[in-house]
Amino acid sequence: MPSSAADSGLGRKASKEVRKQQLIEATIRVLALKGYAALTVADVAKAAGLSTGIIIFHFVSKDELLASVLRFLAEEYYNNWKQAVAAADDNPAAKLSALVLADFNPDVYTPDKLAAWIAFWGESQGRPIYEELCAGFDAERLVAGERFCRSLVESGGYDLDPDITMKALDAMGDGLWLAVAQSGSGLTGRLTPQECNQIMQASLAAFFPRHFAQPGR
Amino acid sequence: MPSSAADSGLGRKASKEVRKQQLIEATIRVLALKGYAALTVADVAKAAGLSTGIIIFHFVSKDELLASVLRFLAEEYYNNWKQAVAAADDNPAAKLSALVLADFNPDVYTPDKLAAWIAFWGESQGRPIYEELCAGFDAERLVAGERFCRSLVESGGYDLDPDITMKALDAMGDGLWLAVAQSGSGLTGRLTPQECNQIMQASLAAFFPRHFAQPGR
Amino acid sequence: MPSSAADSGLGRKASKEVRKQQLIEATIRVLALKGYAALTVADVAKAAGLSTGIIIFHFVSKDELLASVLRFLAEEYYNNWKQAVAAADDNPAAKLSALVLADFNPDVYTPDKLAAWIAFWGESQGRPIYEELCAGFDAERLVAGERFCRSLVESGGYDLDPDITMKALDAMGDGLWLAVAQSGSGLTGRLTPQECNQIMQASLAAFFPRHFAQPGR
Amino acid sequence: MPSSAADSGLGRKASKEVRKQQLIEATIRVLALKGYAALTVADVAKAAGLSTGIIIFHFVSKDELLASVLRFLAEEYYNNWKQAVAAADDNPAAKLSALVLADFNPDVYTPDKLAAWIAFWGESQGRPIYEELCAGFDAERLVAGERFCRSLVESGGYDLDPDITMKALDAMGDGLWLAVAQSGSGLTGRLTPQECNQIMQASLAAFFPRHFAQPGR
DNA sequence: GATGAATGAGCCTTCATTCAT
DNA sequence: GATGAATGAAGGCTCATTCAT
């Protein structure tokens, strides 16, 4: 059967890595569409325009496929904020802003990808993969963010605990992702990545008014 | 066969409603322990100290059991914040505080229950149940919170958009729940409901410094 | 819950035998409605306006209930043709006619009852009950019929084998029952007991034209 | 695992249609052996020397498997009498004889296949499949048979109603099938296809003595 | 590499039977 | 006698995985 609409135009001779990436992306689409529990290898095969056999061939098992997807997402996430922070002006405000706003880079984060993330969150109970793959990365980001917050608190004389503030911003980021991910379901009050960006900027301005301005004012 | 440890001491002839509630609570425990995808009817039966047959007898199907669990959680959530707001002092600051802190009432929200919520979030894609049951409740809470924020903004002269502020607080609440739910997994930086309460209070103080003080200062 | 429409007006104190008969009749109705494979004890209970427990109480098991139904039908069948033959005029033509037409006595044979019979035929494979209960009765009827046929052949000088003739009439009787039983399903060309009677009389006239006239002529 | 005795020597990669036919035939064998109610997918799989999964893979559900069996039987039945009538000499007596005797063609109708038919008769209540698949075919055969009877009545001057006569012969055919099908159960007076043929010929001779002779005389 | 028929373990669901009330 | 919640064995169906082609 010739390639489906989802095939991305790759022929039968795609290299090993290209094919794996193609399957990872198909899995993300299915995860967003059906959730973790309802995802089957056959669904992924169909979404990729390939057969079920080839998935097991490349990934050994369904669990390993899903672990590869999570690994891809985690690395992409890490690279995305790392690079955003590196590219930012060399002052704590710009760095912190880059760190927390990187999560809403529309080039990287479509609702589909966020929905895939939420699906993994929901399944992190009882499965050690999530922790194994994400715990270190998460911690590093929290530590970096807290350092920037501390600099701002010290230089701006804010009455804030930098640890608590970073945890608040981190939690808000997760919550906004959830809202974006559920936007596909038509839930009331759900958001676009652009709106999230605005909400996050407004929050930065609330916590650090002498370093950030309310957006749009 | 003697009752298992999970039986809660209820005899064979518990009333229909009591038995259903007992099964709903067992389901929440399993959801927290194994996640949505790995939950089986047999797991729930074992956790409740009953047989698999009785679950279908009372709930018709596994899907209907899970819908009943979500319905229970959604109603409990609604009643919890409604009652907290009603019991609060009659001023917008107290009302808003009651609204957003109700989510961390330790009498209601154990890590288990939050993990169950996250499991449903992860599966809300592709299943209309979540939206059907929760959309209206969620919207009502956002509207109420925004009204309190607007009062504070007007009386306190803050440079804030009430809608955006409430969405920020709401997202933060969801993100904190996620952090609590994952505390069972040993993930770094995860939180207890008490810490969440503190973080949320700190955030209220950041947004509305003339109405709330930083906690512990 | 008070008695359903199917209760036949019998109160809670029905005697053992009356209650068993009530349950047998409910089973026949269910058999006609749903067939043998789909019949459940709960269906019968509902049709009788009673609980499932009482069926097992009276009949020990579902198999025993169904055996009782078949036993009832077989005995009713036996008594019906025996009595019809006994009541007939004392000549072979009248006796044979009474024998084969007894199957279409509308006081005894409603489409429901015939459908129940067919359901048992369909399940007679692999279950010895049918044979155990019916073989002797069937044989006795065939022997009696053959004797009447033989008398007619001898007295009428027909070029017929009495054994084969009786088997033909017997098979036709079964086939006509099938047609009546399926009349509930709306199958084309299906028949009423009255039409069967006519067809059977026409056949008697064909086999033994000097003893029977074509009906309606 | 080596193929069982029932495998018929077909390898793992039989074509889709061949495999489906193989499973249909296994189902007929099980139907004859255990009846409709007791038939399980596992029984059929075992009888075919295959696994249970492959049955659902090819037929979607047990119900669809059984419907496919009935469809096969109905088409085979239709083709059998159609072809027999077409091959017969071009006169009404030969056509009618071919029509009614086709049912006892020993190349097509083994006791197993007849038992499978009876099993479907018994379950036709409450299930519309039987009617859907067979009603049209049955009607066409009755109409054709009646036409032949009418020709004979007109040319032979018989005092018969062609419609009633054909219904009588049709019912007799069904009843004889029933007798053959139950021959496996050791019921007294049960018949072989050859005996049925003889009985049917005797009946044709009884109805139309100027066109058919009593067999064996 | 790629396919898809085939396998079989595991799960949801049904339902005859039990038994406390 | 009668009820109906509870049990648990059995069966239909799903789906990850295998493997002949």
Instruction: Choose among A171, A178, A76: nearest CA to A118.
Output: A178
Of A136, A176, A187, the CB nearest to B171: A176
Residue C1 pLDDT greater than 50, yes or no: no
For residues C142 and C112, membership in a common domain is answered with: yes
The C-alpha of A196 sits at a distance from chain B's nearest C-alpha, in angstroms, of 9
Separation of CA A53 and C1' E1 in angstroms?
A: 11
D54 touches strand E (CB under 7 A): yes
DSSP secondary structure, D134-148, as one string: HHHHHHHHHHHHHHH
Q: B23 is written with which tokens? A: 């099964």
pLDDT of residue B130: 86
pLDDT band at C63 (very low <50, low <70, confident <90, very high): very high
For residues D13 and D118, membership in a common domain is answered with: no
Q: Is there a domain that residue C215 lies in?
A: no
Q: Is there a domain that residue A169 lies in?
A: yes
Separation of CA D1 and C1' F18 in angstroms?
A: 13
B13 touches strand E (CB under 7 A): yes
B:175-204 residues touching chain A, CB 8 A cutoff:
175-176, 178-179, 181-182, 184-189, 191, 195, 198-200, 202-203
C:22-61 residues touching chain D, CB 8 A cutoff:
31-38
For residues C94 and C190, membership in a common domain is answered with: yes
Domain count, chain C: 2
For residues D40 and D114, membership in a common domain is answered with: no
Separation of CA C192 and C1' E15 in angstroms?
A: 36
pLDDT of residue B43: 98
C54 touches strand F (CB under 7 A): yes
Classify the C-alpha dihedral C128-C130-C133-C135 as positive or negative: negative
Which protein residue has its CA closest to C1' of F3? Answer: C51
Mean pLDDT of D20-45: 96
Which of A20-24, C83-87, D183-187 is least confident? D183-187
Q: A15 exposed, middle or buried (CB, 10 Å; 0-12, 13-18, 19+)?
A: exposed
Report the neighbours of C using a cutoff of 3 or more CB pairs below 8 angstroms.
D
Which of A85-94, A112-121, C117-126, D54-63 is least confident? C117-126
Among C30, C60, C90, give the residue marking a domain's end: C60
Report the distance separating Cα A197 and Cα B203, nearest Å: 18
Share of chain B above pLDDT 70, in %: 90
Which protein residue has its CA closest to C1' of F14? Answer: D53
Question: How confident is the model over D142-162, as pLDDT tens digits?
Answer: 999 999 999 999 999 999 999
Specify which of A86-95, B176-185, D207-216 reaches the highest per-range mean pLDDT.
A86-95
DSSP secondary structure, B4-16, as one string: -GGGTT--TT--H
The C-alpha of B11 sits at a distance from chain A's nearest C-alpha, in angstroms, of 31
For residues D184 and D213, membership in a common domain is answered with: yes
Q: Is there a domain that residue C97 lies in?
A: yes
* Residues recorded for chain C: 217
Residue B135 pLDDT greater than 90, yes or no: no
Chain E positions with any atom < 7 A from a protein CB: 1-21
Q: What is the mean pLDDT of chain C?
A: 90
Q: A145 is written with which tokens? A: 């963010």
pLDDT of residue D142: 95
The C-alpha of A207 sits at a distance from chain B's nearest C-alpha, in angstroms, of 5
Among B19, B39, B60, give the residue marking a domain's end: B60
Q: Is there a domain that residue A171 lies in?
A: yes
For residues B36 and B121, membership in a common domain is answered with: no
pLDDT of residue C68: 97
Mean pLDDT of D97-108: 96
Task: Count chain A–chain B contacts defined by CB atoms under 8 A.
Answer: 204
Residue B9 pLDDT greater than 50, yes or no: no
pTM above 0.85, yes or no: yes
For residues C26 and C113, membership in a common domain is answered with: no
Q: Is there a domain that residue C216 lies in?
A: no
Mean pLDDT of D118-138: 87
* Residues recorded for chain B: 217
The C-alpha of D14 sits at a distance from chain C's nearest C-alpha, in angstroms, of 31
pLDDT band at C188 (very low <50, low <70, confident <90, very high): low
Which protein residue has its CA closest to C1' of F21? Answer: D13
CA count, 13 A, side-chain hemisphere, D154: 7
Q: Is there a domain that residue B213 lies in?
A: no
B114 touches chain A (CB under 8 A): no
pLDDT of residue A9: 46
Share of chain C above pLDDT 90, in %: 75
pLDDT of residue C44: 98
Separation of CA B58 and C1' F4 in angstroms?
A: 12
Residue D183 pLDDT greater than 80, yes or no: no
The answer to whether the CB atoms of C125 and D198 lie below 8 A apart is no
Residues of D whose CB is below 8 A from C129 = none
D127 touches chain C (CB under 8 A): yes
Q: B117 is written with which tokens? A: 């919520």
pLDDT band at B217 (very low <50, low <70, confident <90, very high): low
Separation of CA C56 and C1' E18 in angstroms?
A: 10
Question: How confident is the model over B137-164, as pLDDT tens digits?
Answer: 889 999 999 999 999 999 999 999 999 9
Is the pLDDT higher at A181 or at D83? D83
For residues D45 and D110, membership in a common domain is answered with: no
Instruction: Choose among C42, C44, C48: nearest CA to C22.
Output: C48
DSSP one-letter code for D186: T
Residues of C whose CB is below 8 A from D175 = 170-176, 178
pLDDT band at B8 (very low <50, low <70, confident <90, very high): very low
Q: C30 is written with which tokens? A: 């269910």
Question: How confident is the model over B58-102, as pLDDT tens digits?
Answer: 999 999 999 999 999 999 999 999 999 999 999 999 999 999 999
Residue D8 pLDDT greater than 50, yes or no: no
SS3 D212: coil
Q: Which residues of chain B between 18 and 77 are close to nucleic strand F, CB under 7 A?
A: 19, 50-54, 57-58
The C-alpha of B138 sits at a distance from chain A's nearest C-alpha, in angstroms, of 8
The answer to whether the CB atoms of D125 and C181 lie below 8 A apart is yes
The answer to whether the CB atoms of A122 and B120 lie below 8 A apart is yes
Instruction: Choose among C209, C144, C150, C207: nearest CA to D202.
Output: C207
For residues D170 and D191, membership in a common domain is answered with: yes
Closest nt by CA–C1' to A63: F16
Q: Which of B113, B166, B167, B176 is most worth mutating to test chain A (most A CB atoms within 10 A of its CB)? A: B167
Separation of CA A56 and C1' F18 in angstroms?
A: 10
The answer to whether the CB atoms of A142 and B188 lie below 8 A apart is yes
Q: HEC states along chain C?
A: CCCCHHHCCCCCCCCHHHHHHHHHHHHHHHHHHHCCCCCCHHHHHHHHCCCHHHHHHHHCCHHHHHHHHHHHHHHHHHHHHHHHHHHCCCCHHHHHHHHHHHHHCCCCCCHHHHHHHHHHHHHCCCCCHHHHHHHHHHHHHHHHHHHHHHHHHHHHCCCCCHHHHHHHHHHHHHHHHHHHHHHHHCCCCCCCHHHHHHHHHHHHHHHCCCCCCCCCC
**Residue found under tokens 């006509």:** C176
D63 touches chain C (CB under 8 A): no
The C-alpha of B178 sits at a distance from chain A's nearest C-alpha, in angstroms, of 8
Residue B189 pLDDT greater than 70, yes or no: no
Q: What CATH number is given to the structural domain containing B26? A: 1.10.10.60
pLDDT band at B50 (very low <50, low <70, confident <90, very high): very high
pLDDT of residue A209: 96
pLDDT of residue C5: 42
Phi, psi at residue D197, to the nearest 5°?
-55, -45
Q: Where do runs of H (alpha helix) occur along A60-185?
A: 62-87, 92-101, 111-123, 129-156, 162-181
Q: B7 is in which domain, residue-wise?
A: 1-60
For residues B111 and B20, membership in a common domain is answered with: no
Q: What CATH number is given to the structural domain containing A146? A: 1.10.357.10
Give the C-alpha distances (Å, rounded to integers) separating B76 from A187, B113, B129: 20, 11, 17
For residues D53 and D85, membership in a common domain is answered with: no
Among D44, D60, D76, give the residue marking a domain's end: D60
C103 contact partners, CB below 8 Å, separation of at least 6: C80, C81, C109, C173, C176, C177, C196, C200
**pLDDT tens over chain A, length 217 residues:** 344 444 444 455 558 889 999 999 999 999 999 999 999 999 999 999 999 999 999 999 999 999 999 999 999 999 999 999 999 999 999 999 999 999 999 999 998 999 999 999 999 877 788 888 888 888 999 999 999 999 999 999 999 999 999 999 999 999 999 999 887 666 666 789 999 999 999 999 999 999 999 987 6
Share of chain D above pLDDT 90, in %: 76
Give the C-alpha distances (Å, rounded to integers) separating A48 from A13, A30, B135, B136, B169: 14, 10, 33, 36, 39
Which of B65-69, C122-126, C145-149 is least confident? C122-126
Residues of B whose CB is below 8 A from A38 = 123, 126-127
B147 touches strand E (CB under 7 A): no
For residues D99 and D81, membership in a common domain is answered with: yes
B93 touches chain A (CB under 8 A): no
Q: Where do runs of H (alpha helix) occur along B88-188?
A: 92-101, 111-123, 129-156, 162-181
**Buried residues in B137-152 as b, exposed as e (16+ CB within 10 A):** bbeebbebbbebbbbb
